[in-house]
């Protein structure tokens, strides 16, 4: 269980790093495709670099964040194979990892950063959204979250099945 929790924390770090790279460094409106419509309306297409190489730093962070999101799946599979996990154990590991990532997404990204202007994260990089974000936005993307939660079951089952075939 400790390995599963550690792998989940790695995925959470990857998700946060991806958000930070897009919002804070790459600063392209395409990264706001999942943001509320109110925010998309006031965010500029691009922003000038605050320092030389800012966008390169952002893209490097984005690549590293993808590695942090994918690597835990492989590490979890390898660890499970070493410990001779059953299908059920693999399934439980992957579903826990995905659900903890989803809880982090909803609890930290949506509630803290978006709805409560936590730490002034978004307004720091995009002052245009200061009056847009607030508690009224919580749940604006509930359909997306629900589809991710439902999709976690077949994805976890598929990963567990692949791991049991390998083992």
pLDDT in tens, 80-114: 999 999 999 999 999 999 999 999 999 998 888 87
**pLDDT score, position 82:** 97
Q: What mean pLDDT comes out for the span 37-43?
A: 81
**pLDDT score, position 118:** 66
Which position has the higher pLDDT, 116 or 83? Answer: 83
Grade residue 128 by pLDDT with cuts at 50, 70 and 90.
Answer: confident
Nearest one of 133, 132, 139, 128 to 117, comparing CA atoms: 133
Question: Which region among 27-36, 49-58, 147-156 has the lowest average model confidence (pLDDT)?
Answer: 27-36
Percent of the chain with pLDDT over 70: 99
Task: Compute CA distances 113 → 1, 135, 146, 156, whole Å.
Answer: 29, 10, 20, 28
| DSSP secondary structure string for all residues of 70-127 | HHHHHHHHHHHHHTT--HHHHHHHHHHHHHHHHHHIIIIIIIIIIIS-GGGHHHHH-G
Which position has the higher pLDDT, 167 or 82? Answer: 82
Tokens standing for 95? Answer: 């579903």
Decide if pLDDT at 63 tops 90. yes
Q: Report the mean per-residue pLDDT for the chain.
A: 90
């Amino acid at each position: 269980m400790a390995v599963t929790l550690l792998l989940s924390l790695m995925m959470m770090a990857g998700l946060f790093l991806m958000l930070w790279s897009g919002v804070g460094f790459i600063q392209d409106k395409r990264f706001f495709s999942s943001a509320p419509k109110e925010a998309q309306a006031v965010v500029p297409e691009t922003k000038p670099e605050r320092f030389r190489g800012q966008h390169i730093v952002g893209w490097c962070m984005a690549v590293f964040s993808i590695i942090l999101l994918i690597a835990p799946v492989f590490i979890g599979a390898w660890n499970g194979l070493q410990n001779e996990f059953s299908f059920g154990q693999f399934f439980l590991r992957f579903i826990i990892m995905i659900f903890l990532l989803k809880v982090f997404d909803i609890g930290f990204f949506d509630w803290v950063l978006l709805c409560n202007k936590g730490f002034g994260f978004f307004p720091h990089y995009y002052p245009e959204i200061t009056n847009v974000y607030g508690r009224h936005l919580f749940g604006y993307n509930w359909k997306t979250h629900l589809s991710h939660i439902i999709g976690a079951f077949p994805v976890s089952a598929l990963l567990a099945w692949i791991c049991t075939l390998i083992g």
